[in-house]
Structure 1
Amino acid sequence: MTQPITFPGLGLSFTIDPIAFSIFGMGVHWYGIIIVTGFILAFLLANKDSNTFGIKQSDVSDLLLVVTPLAIIGARLYYVAFEWSNYKDNLLEVFNIRNGGLAIYGGILTAVENRKRIINQFF
Protein backbone atom coordinates (compact mmCIF):
# COMPACT_ATOMS: atom_id res chain seq x y z
CA MET A 1 0.00 0.00 0.00
CA THR A 2 1.59 3.24 -1.09
CA GLN A 3 1.03 6.60 0.50
CA PRO A 4 0.84 9.81 -1.53
CA ILE A 5 3.18 12.57 -0.44
CA THR A 6 2.59 16.01 -1.89
CA PHE A 7 4.26 19.37 -1.61
CA PRO A 8 1.62 21.63 -3.20
CA GLY A 9 3.65 24.81 -2.89
CA LEU A 10 6.52 23.20 -4.77
CA GLY A 11 4.39 21.29 -7.26
CA LEU A 12 5.90 17.98 -6.14
CA SER A 13 4.00 14.76 -5.63
CA PHE A 14 5.13 11.16 -5.28
CA THR A 15 4.09 7.91 -3.63
CA ILE A 16 6.05 5.78 -1.23
CA ASP A 17 5.44 2.46 0.42
CA PRO A 18 5.55 2.91 4.23
CA ILE A 19 7.41 -0.41 4.49
CA ALA A 20 11.04 -0.03 3.42
CA PHE A 21 11.84 -3.77 3.42
CA SER A 22 10.94 -7.03 5.15
CA ILE A 23 12.96 -9.28 7.42
CA PHE A 24 11.62 -12.78 8.08
CA GLY A 25 8.20 -11.68 6.82
CA MET A 26 7.99 -8.66 9.15
CA GLY A 27 7.92 -5.25 7.51
CA VAL A 28 10.39 -2.59 8.55
CA HIS A 29 8.72 0.80 8.28
CA TRP A 30 10.41 4.01 7.21
CA TYR A 31 9.21 5.67 10.41
CA GLY A 32 11.14 3.12 12.48
CA ILE A 33 14.26 3.58 10.37
CA ILE A 34 14.10 7.34 10.90
CA ILE A 35 13.68 6.98 14.69
CA VAL A 36 16.55 4.47 14.97
CA THR A 37 18.75 6.71 12.82
CA GLY A 38 17.97 9.60 15.19
CA PHE A 39 18.92 7.48 18.21
CA ILE A 40 22.20 6.42 16.58
CA LEU A 41 23.11 9.97 15.55
CA ALA A 42 22.26 11.31 19.02
CA PHE A 43 24.42 8.61 20.59
CA LEU A 44 27.35 9.31 18.26
CA LEU A 45 27.12 13.05 18.88
CA ALA A 46 26.85 12.58 22.66
CA ASN A 47 29.82 10.20 22.58
CA LYS A 48 31.87 12.64 20.51
CA ASP A 49 31.12 15.64 22.73
CA SER A 50 31.06 13.87 26.10
CA ASN A 51 34.60 14.90 27.06
CA THR A 52 33.70 18.56 26.46
CA PHE A 53 31.12 18.29 29.25
CA GLY A 54 33.23 16.10 31.56
CA ILE A 55 31.17 12.97 30.93
CA LYS A 56 32.79 9.58 30.41
CA GLN A 57 31.92 7.83 27.15
CA SER A 58 30.99 4.70 29.07
CA ASP A 59 28.37 6.74 30.95
CA VAL A 60 26.86 7.81 27.62
CA SER A 61 26.56 4.15 26.61
CA ASP A 62 25.06 3.21 29.97
CA LEU A 63 22.58 6.07 29.71
CA LEU A 64 21.48 4.89 26.27
CA LEU A 65 20.82 1.41 27.65
CA VAL A 66 18.49 2.90 30.28
CA VAL A 67 16.84 5.60 28.18
CA THR A 68 15.99 3.45 25.14
CA PRO A 69 13.63 1.03 26.93
CA LEU A 70 12.10 3.92 28.88
CA ALA A 71 11.44 5.79 25.65
CA ILE A 72 9.78 2.73 24.08
CA ILE A 73 7.61 2.15 27.15
CA GLY A 74 6.65 5.83 27.32
CA ALA A 75 5.86 5.93 23.61
CA ARG A 76 3.64 2.87 23.93
CA LEU A 77 1.84 4.15 27.03
CA TYR A 78 1.12 7.46 25.33
CA TYR A 79 -0.27 5.72 22.27
CA VAL A 80 -2.43 3.32 24.28
CA ALA A 81 -3.78 6.16 26.43
CA PHE A 82 -5.06 8.00 23.36
CA GLU A 83 -6.29 4.83 21.62
CA TRP A 84 -7.77 3.20 24.73
CA SER A 85 -10.97 2.20 22.94
CA ASN A 86 -8.90 -0.21 20.82
CA TYR A 87 -7.36 -1.92 23.87
CA LYS A 88 -9.95 -1.83 26.65
CA ASP A 89 -11.51 -5.16 25.62
CA ASN A 90 -8.20 -6.99 25.09
CA LEU A 91 -5.57 -5.82 27.55
CA LEU A 92 -2.92 -8.22 26.28
CA GLU A 93 -2.82 -6.25 23.00
CA VAL A 94 -1.30 -3.38 24.97
CA PHE A 95 1.99 -5.32 24.96
CA ASN A 96 1.90 -6.15 21.23
CA ILE A 97 3.92 -3.34 19.68
CA ARG A 98 4.50 -5.29 16.46
CA ASN A 99 1.09 -4.16 15.25
CA GLY A 100 2.18 -0.56 15.55
CA GLY A 101 1.33 2.00 18.11
CA LEU A 102 4.30 3.98 19.38
CA ALA A 103 3.97 7.74 19.71
CA ILE A 104 7.27 9.62 19.83
CA TYR A 105 5.67 12.28 22.05
CA GLY A 106 5.35 9.67 24.82
CA GLY A 107 9.03 8.79 24.55
CA ILE A 108 10.01 12.43 24.79
CA LEU A 109 7.68 13.06 27.75
CA THR A 110 9.08 10.02 29.56
CA ALA A 111 12.62 11.27 29.04
CA VAL A 112 11.78 14.79 30.21
CA GLU A 113 9.87 13.52 33.24
CA ASN A 114 12.68 11.19 34.34
CA ARG A 115 15.68 13.31 33.36
CA LYS A 116 16.68 14.34 36.89
CA ARG A 117 16.46 10.80 38.24
CA ILE A 118 18.47 9.41 35.30
CA ILE A 119 21.10 12.15 35.41
CA ASN A 120 21.55 11.80 39.18
CA GLN A 121 21.99 8.06 38.80
CA PHE A 122 24.75 8.39 36.21
CA PHE A 123 26.52 11.63 37.03
Structure 2
Amino acid sequence: MLPAIPSLPLAFQFASPGPILVRIGPLTIRWYGLLIAAAVLIGVSLSQYLAKRRHINPDLVGDLVIWLVIAAIPAARLYYVLFNWSAYAQNPGQIIAIWQGGIAIHGAILGGIAAALIFARLNRISFWQLADLVAPSLILGQAIGRWGNFFNSEAFGSPTNLPWKLYIPLNQRPTEYADFAYFHPTFLYESLWNLMVFGLLLTLFFRGLKGKLHLKAGTLFLVYWVAYSLGRFWIEALRTDSLMLGPLRIAQVVSLVGIMLGLAGLAWLYIYKRSLPDVAPVREEGVEASER
Protein backbone atom coordinates (compact mmCIF):
# COMPACT_ATOMS: atom_id res chain seq x y z
CA MET A 1 0.00 0.00 0.00
CA LEU A 2 1.23 3.47 -0.86
CA PRO A 3 1.19 6.01 1.98
CA ALA A 4 -1.66 8.49 1.84
CA ILE A 5 -0.48 11.68 0.21
CA PRO A 6 -2.57 14.84 0.08
CA SER A 7 -3.35 15.66 -3.55
CA LEU A 8 -2.10 19.01 -4.75
CA PRO A 9 -2.71 20.59 -8.14
CA LEU A 10 0.05 20.27 -10.71
CA ALA A 11 2.06 18.01 -8.41
CA PHE A 12 3.83 14.86 -9.56
CA GLN A 13 4.46 13.33 -6.16
CA PHE A 14 6.69 10.30 -5.74
CA ALA A 15 6.17 7.78 -2.96
CA SER A 16 8.02 4.50 -2.54
CA PRO A 17 5.99 1.27 -2.35
CA GLY A 18 8.64 -0.06 0.02
CA PRO A 19 11.93 -1.95 -0.28
CA ILE A 20 10.48 -5.47 -0.66
CA LEU A 21 9.34 -6.67 -4.07
CA VAL A 22 7.95 -10.05 -2.98
CA ARG A 23 8.17 -12.61 -0.18
CA ILE A 24 8.01 -16.32 -1.02
CA GLY A 25 8.11 -18.25 2.23
CA PRO A 26 11.48 -17.52 3.85
CA LEU A 27 12.76 -15.91 0.63
CA THR A 28 12.60 -12.13 0.42
CA ILE A 29 13.35 -10.42 -2.88
CA ARG A 30 14.19 -6.73 -2.48
CA TRP A 31 14.05 -4.06 -5.14
CA TYR A 32 17.60 -2.98 -4.32
CA GLY A 33 19.09 -6.40 -5.05
CA LEU A 34 16.97 -6.86 -8.17
CA LEU A 35 18.12 -3.51 -9.57
CA ILE A 36 21.79 -4.27 -8.88
CA ALA A 37 21.45 -7.66 -10.59
CA ALA A 38 19.71 -6.05 -13.57
CA ALA A 39 22.40 -3.37 -13.82
CA VAL A 40 25.14 -6.02 -13.86
CA LEU A 41 23.45 -8.16 -16.52
CA ILE A 42 22.68 -5.19 -18.77
CA GLY A 43 26.18 -3.82 -18.24
CA VAL A 44 27.87 -7.10 -19.20
CA SER A 45 25.81 -7.39 -22.38
CA LEU A 46 26.50 -3.80 -23.39
CA SER A 47 30.24 -3.97 -22.69
CA GLN A 48 30.58 -7.20 -24.64
CA TYR A 49 28.72 -5.64 -27.57
CA LEU A 50 31.04 -2.62 -27.51
CA ALA A 51 34.06 -4.94 -27.32
CA LYS A 52 32.92 -6.74 -30.47
CA ARG A 53 32.55 -3.43 -32.28
CA ARG A 54 36.17 -2.62 -31.41
CA HIS A 55 37.33 -6.12 -32.38
CA ILE A 56 38.28 -6.99 -28.81
CA ASN A 57 37.50 -10.44 -27.42
CA PRO A 58 34.15 -10.04 -25.56
CA ASP A 59 34.96 -13.00 -23.31
CA LEU A 60 37.61 -10.83 -21.67
CA VAL A 61 34.89 -8.42 -20.62
CA GLY A 62 32.83 -11.25 -19.17
CA ASP A 63 35.82 -12.39 -17.13
CA LEU A 64 36.52 -8.83 -16.02
CA VAL A 65 32.96 -8.29 -14.78
CA ILE A 66 33.35 -11.18 -12.32
CA TRP A 67 36.38 -9.39 -10.88
CA LEU A 68 34.53 -6.08 -10.79
CA VAL A 69 31.51 -7.46 -8.93
CA ILE A 70 33.65 -9.32 -6.41
CA ALA A 71 35.66 -6.16 -5.69
CA ALA A 72 33.13 -3.35 -6.16
CA ILE A 73 30.25 -4.41 -3.93
CA PRO A 74 32.34 -5.08 -0.78
CA ALA A 75 34.38 -1.92 -1.47
CA ALA A 76 31.19 0.12 -1.82
CA ARG A 77 29.92 -1.18 1.52
CA LEU A 78 33.28 -0.75 3.26
CA TYR A 79 33.55 2.84 2.04
CA TYR A 80 30.05 3.62 3.36
CA VAL A 81 30.63 1.94 6.71
CA LEU A 82 34.00 3.63 7.31
CA PHE A 83 32.59 7.11 6.73
CA ASN A 84 29.51 6.29 8.82
CA TRP A 85 31.37 4.41 11.52
CA SER A 86 29.76 6.15 14.49
CA ALA A 87 26.44 4.52 13.60
CA TYR A 88 27.82 1.06 12.80
CA ALA A 89 30.14 0.91 15.80
CA GLN A 90 27.08 0.77 18.03
CA ASN A 91 25.44 -1.94 15.95
CA PRO A 92 28.17 -3.99 14.21
CA GLY A 93 25.70 -6.68 13.18
CA GLN A 94 24.35 -4.24 10.57
CA ILE A 95 27.72 -3.89 8.81
CA ILE A 96 27.01 -6.80 6.47
CA ALA A 97 23.31 -5.92 5.94
CA ILE A 98 23.93 -4.59 2.45
CA TRP A 99 20.43 -5.65 1.36
CA GLN A 100 19.06 -2.81 3.49
CA GLY A 101 20.96 -0.23 1.44
CA GLY A 102 24.01 1.76 2.40
CA ILE A 103 26.62 1.46 -0.32
CA ALA A 104 28.72 4.25 -1.81
CA ILE A 105 29.30 4.40 -5.55
CA HIS A 106 32.69 6.06 -5.08
CA GLY A 107 33.78 3.05 -3.04
CA ALA A 108 32.52 0.73 -5.79
CA ILE A 109 34.42 2.68 -8.45
CA LEU A 110 37.66 2.63 -6.46
CA GLY A 111 37.30 -1.09 -5.78
CA GLY A 112 36.51 -1.74 -9.43
CA ILE A 113 39.52 0.27 -10.62
CA ALA A 114 41.82 -1.73 -8.33
CA ALA A 115 40.37 -5.02 -9.61
CA ALA A 116 40.61 -3.90 -13.26
CA LEU A 117 44.25 -2.86 -12.84
CA ILE A 118 45.13 -6.28 -11.46
CA PHE A 119 43.10 -8.05 -14.16
CA ALA A 120 44.75 -6.02 -16.93
CA ARG A 121 48.20 -6.70 -15.50
CA LEU A 122 47.64 -10.45 -15.25
CA ASN A 123 46.15 -10.70 -18.73
CA ARG A 124 48.52 -8.21 -20.41
CA ILE A 125 45.60 -6.12 -21.63
CA SER A 126 45.41 -2.35 -21.81
CA PHE A 127 43.66 -1.08 -18.69
CA TRP A 128 42.50 2.03 -20.55
CA GLN A 129 40.89 0.04 -23.36
CA LEU A 130 39.01 -2.02 -20.79
CA ALA A 131 38.01 1.13 -18.91
CA ASP A 132 36.62 2.67 -22.10
CA LEU A 133 34.50 -0.43 -22.77
CA VAL A 134 33.15 -0.51 -19.22
CA ALA A 135 32.49 3.23 -18.76
CA PRO A 136 29.15 3.38 -20.64
CA SER A 137 27.89 0.29 -18.80
CA LEU A 138 29.05 1.71 -15.49
CA ILE A 139 27.15 4.97 -15.82
CA LEU A 140 24.05 3.14 -17.10
CA GLY A 141 24.28 0.82 -14.10
CA GLN A 142 24.47 3.83 -11.81
CA ALA A 143 21.35 5.28 -13.42
CA ILE A 144 19.50 2.01 -12.79
CA GLY A 145 20.89 1.46 -9.31
CA ARG A 146 19.81 4.91 -8.07
CA TRP A 147 16.22 3.69 -8.13
CA GLY A 148 17.14 1.37 -5.29
CA ASN A 149 17.37 4.51 -3.15
CA PHE A 150 13.79 5.33 -4.15
CA PHE A 151 12.45 1.98 -2.97
CA ASN A 152 14.44 2.24 0.28
CA SER A 153 13.32 5.86 0.86
CA GLU A 154 16.93 6.97 1.25
CA ALA A 155 19.48 9.33 -0.33
CA PHE A 156 16.87 12.07 -0.70
CA GLY A 157 17.45 15.80 -0.61
CA SER A 158 16.31 18.71 1.52
CA PRO A 159 12.62 19.62 1.96
CA THR A 160 10.90 21.09 -1.08
CA ASN A 161 7.48 21.98 -2.46
CA LEU A 162 8.46 21.53 -6.09
CA PRO A 163 5.89 19.68 -8.23
CA TRP A 164 8.14 16.58 -8.53
CA LYS A 165 8.72 16.32 -4.77
CA LEU A 166 9.27 12.99 -3.04
CA TYR A 167 7.19 11.81 -0.08
CA ILE A 168 9.28 10.27 2.70
CA PRO A 169 7.63 8.27 5.53
CA LEU A 170 8.07 9.73 9.00
CA ASN A 171 10.32 6.90 10.21
CA GLN A 172 12.76 7.56 7.33
CA ARG A 173 13.11 11.30 7.83
CA PRO A 174 16.08 12.88 9.63
CA THR A 175 15.09 14.08 13.08
CA GLU A 176 15.56 17.73 12.17
CA TYR A 177 13.15 17.33 9.25
CA ALA A 178 10.46 15.31 11.02
CA ASP A 179 7.84 17.99 10.35
CA PHE A 180 8.46 17.94 6.59
CA ALA A 181 6.81 15.38 4.33
CA TYR A 182 8.27 16.20 0.91
CA PHE A 183 11.89 16.26 -0.21
CA HIS A 184 14.02 16.65 -3.34
CA PRO A 185 14.13 13.30 -5.23
CA THR A 186 17.90 13.42 -5.61
CA PHE A 187 17.89 9.78 -6.72
CA LEU A 188 15.90 10.94 -9.75
CA TYR A 189 18.19 13.89 -10.45
CA GLU A 190 21.23 11.66 -10.46
CA SER A 191 19.57 8.91 -12.48
CA LEU A 192 18.58 11.39 -15.20
CA TRP A 193 22.02 13.01 -15.15
CA ASN A 194 23.66 9.61 -15.50
CA LEU A 195 21.44 8.77 -18.46
CA MET A 196 22.61 11.97 -20.17
CA VAL A 197 26.24 11.01 -19.52
CA PHE A 198 25.48 7.54 -20.91
CA GLY A 199 24.15 9.13 -24.09
CA LEU A 200 27.26 11.29 -24.36
CA LEU A 201 29.60 8.31 -24.00
CA LEU A 202 27.76 6.22 -26.58
CA THR A 203 27.77 9.15 -28.99
CA LEU A 204 31.53 9.54 -28.60
CA PHE A 205 32.06 5.77 -28.95
CA PHE A 206 30.14 5.41 -32.21
CA ARG A 207 31.49 8.63 -33.71
CA GLY A 208 34.94 7.23 -33.00
CA LEU A 209 34.05 3.96 -34.74
CA LYS A 210 32.87 5.87 -37.82
CA GLY A 211 36.12 7.81 -37.96
CA LYS A 212 34.47 11.15 -37.17
CA LEU A 213 36.53 11.41 -33.98
CA HIS A 214 39.96 10.08 -33.13
CA LEU A 215 39.58 8.80 -29.58
CA LYS A 216 42.70 7.79 -27.73
CA ALA A 217 42.60 4.95 -25.21
CA GLY A 218 41.23 6.20 -21.90
CA THR A 219 39.15 9.03 -23.36
CA LEU A 220 35.72 7.57 -22.62
CA PHE A 221 36.63 6.69 -19.04
CA LEU A 222 38.04 10.17 -18.38
CA VAL A 223 34.96 11.83 -19.90
CA TYR A 224 32.80 9.57 -17.72
CA TRP A 225 34.73 10.54 -14.61
CA VAL A 226 34.52 14.28 -15.30
CA ALA A 227 30.86 14.31 -16.41
CA TYR A 228 29.61 12.10 -13.58
CA SER A 229 31.57 14.08 -11.00
CA LEU A 230 30.13 17.38 -12.23
CA GLY A 231 26.61 16.09 -11.69
CA ARG A 232 27.35 14.41 -8.40
CA PHE A 233 28.93 17.58 -7.00
CA TRP A 234 25.81 19.74 -7.32
CA ILE A 235 23.33 16.96 -6.51
CA GLU A 236 25.25 16.07 -3.35
CA ALA A 237 24.75 19.64 -2.09
CA LEU A 238 21.00 18.93 -1.90
CA ARG A 239 21.22 15.71 0.10
CA THR A 240 20.50 15.36 3.81
CA ASP A 241 22.48 12.16 4.38
CA SER A 242 25.91 12.94 2.95
CA LEU A 243 28.90 11.09 4.34
CA MET A 244 30.95 13.72 6.11
CA LEU A 245 34.57 14.30 7.06
CA GLY A 246 34.34 17.17 9.49
CA PRO A 247 32.50 19.99 7.68
CA LEU A 248 33.17 18.51 4.23
CA ARG A 249 30.86 16.32 2.19
CA ILE A 250 33.03 13.38 1.15
CA ALA A 251 31.29 12.89 -2.20
CA GLN A 252 31.89 16.51 -3.16
CA VAL A 253 35.57 16.30 -2.26
CA VAL A 254 35.98 13.09 -4.28
CA SER A 255 34.04 14.65 -7.17
CA LEU A 256 36.32 17.69 -7.25
CA VAL A 257 39.39 15.46 -7.25
CA GLY A 258 37.82 13.37 -10.02
CA ILE A 259 37.09 16.44 -12.15
CA MET A 260 40.65 17.71 -11.80
CA LEU A 261 42.25 14.33 -12.52
CA GLY A 262 39.93 13.68 -15.45
CA LEU A 263 40.61 17.08 -17.03
CA ALA A 264 44.34 16.62 -16.47
CA GLY A 265 44.17 13.23 -18.22
CA LEU A 266 42.26 14.67 -21.18
CA ALA A 267 44.77 17.52 -21.43
CA TRP A 268 47.59 14.96 -21.40
CA LEU A 269 45.94 13.09 -24.29
CA TYR A 270 44.84 15.94 -26.51
CA ILE A 271 46.88 19.03 -25.63
CA TYR A 272 50.20 17.40 -24.88
CA LYS A 273 49.40 14.57 -27.35
CA ARG A 274 50.73 11.81 -25.13
CA SER A 275 49.37 8.38 -24.23
CA LEU A 276 48.25 7.45 -20.74
CA PRO A 277 50.64 5.10 -18.93
CA ASP A 278 49.39 1.52 -18.83
CA VAL A 279 49.91 -1.32 -16.38
CA ALA A 280 51.46 -3.94 -18.65
CA PRO A 281 52.75 -4.63 -22.18
CA VAL A 282 49.64 -5.11 -24.32
CA ARG A 283 49.05 -8.52 -25.88
CA GLU A 284 48.60 -8.17 -29.64
CA GLU A 285 45.91 -10.73 -30.41
CA GLY A 286 42.28 -9.67 -30.42
CA VAL A 287 43.02 -5.96 -30.77
CA GLU A 288 42.82 -4.21 -34.10
CA ALA A 289 45.82 -2.18 -35.17
CA SER A 290 44.15 1.19 -34.69
CA GLU A 291 43.56 0.37 -31.03
CA ARG A 292 47.15 -0.60 -30.15
Q: TM-score range by the shorter chain?
A: 0.7 to 0.9
In the TM superposition, residue 75 of structure 1 has moved relative to its aligned partner by 0.9
In the TM superposition, residue 33 of structure 1 has moved relative to its aligned partner by 1.9
Paired position in structure 2 for 1:37: 38
1:54-84 per-residue CA deviation (whole Å, 9 max, x = no partner) reads 3212211111111101011111111111221
Report matched runs for 1:46-85 at 5 Å. 46-85=47-86
Q: Quote the Cα distance in structure 2 between the aligned partners of 1:102 and 1:26.
A: 22
Larger proportion of strand: 1
1:9-52 per-residue CA deviation (whole Å, 9 max, x = no partner) reads x6122531221112553433222222221111110011122122
Deviates more, 1:111-120 or 1:15-24: 111-120
User: What SS class does the counterpart of residue 28 from structure 1 fall into?
Assistant: strand
Give ranges in structure 1 of 5+ residues lacking alignment.
Answer: none
Give ranges in structure 2 of 5+ residues lacking alignment.
Answer: 126-292
Q: Quote the Cα distance in structure 1 between the aligned partners of 2:60 and 2:86.
A: 40
Paired position in structure 2 for 1:12: 12
Kindly tell me the number of residue pairs found equivalent between the two proteins: 120
Identify if the C-alpha distance between structure 1 residues 83 and 53 changes in structure 2 by more than 3 Å, giving closer, same or farther: same
Identify if the C-alpha distance between structure 1 residues 73 and 103 changes in structure 2 by more than 3 Å, giving closer, same or farther: same
Higher relative contact order (CA 8 A, sep 6+): 2
Q: Quote the Cα distance in structure 1 between the aligned partners of 2:4 and 2:39.
A: 24
Q: Quote the Cα distance in structure 2 between the aligned partners of 1:107 and 1:2.
A: 32
Identify if the C-alpha distance between structure 1 residues 24 and 4 changes in structure 2 by more than 3 Å, giving closer, same or farther: same
Amino acid at match of 2:41: I
Identify if the C-alpha distance between structure 1 residues 95 and 11 changes in structure 2 by more than 3 Å, giving closer, same or farther: closer
In the TM superposition, residue 119 of structure 1 has moved relative to its aligned partner by 2.7
Q: Quote the Cα distance in structure 2 between the aligned partners of 1:4 and 1:57.
A: 49
Identify if the C-alpha distance between structure 1 residues 109 and 97 changes in structure 2 by more than 3 Å, giving closer, same or farther: same
Taking only aligned residues, the RMSD between alpha carbons, in angstroms, comes to 3.0
Paired position in structure 1 for 2:110: 109
Q: Quote the Cα distance in structure 1 between the aligned partners of 2:4 and 2:14.
A: 6
Bigger radius of gyration, 1 or 2?
Answer: 2
1:69-114 per-residue CA deviation (whole Å, 9 max, x = no partner) reads 1011111111111221233356565345355433333212322355
Amino acid at match of 1:102: I
The answer (yes or no) to whether the contact 1:21–1:29 under 8 Å persists in 2 is yes
TM-score, L = length of structure 2: 0.35
Larger proportion of helix: 1
Identify if the C-alpha distance between structure 1 residues 27 and 2 changes in structure 2 by more than 3 Å, giving closer, same or farther: farther
The answer (yes or no) to whether the contact 1:2–1:18 under 8 Å persists in 2 is no
The answer (yes or no) to whether the contact 2:71–2:115 under 8 Å persists in 1 is no
User: What SS class does the counterpart of residue 12 from structure 1 fall into?
Assistant: coil
The answer (yes or no) to whether the contact 1:70–1:110 under 8 Å persists in 2 is yes
Q: Quote the Cα distance in structure 1 between the aligned partners of 2:60 and 2:4.
A: 43
Q: Quote the Cα distance in structure 2 between the aligned partners of 1:106 and 1:3.
A: 33
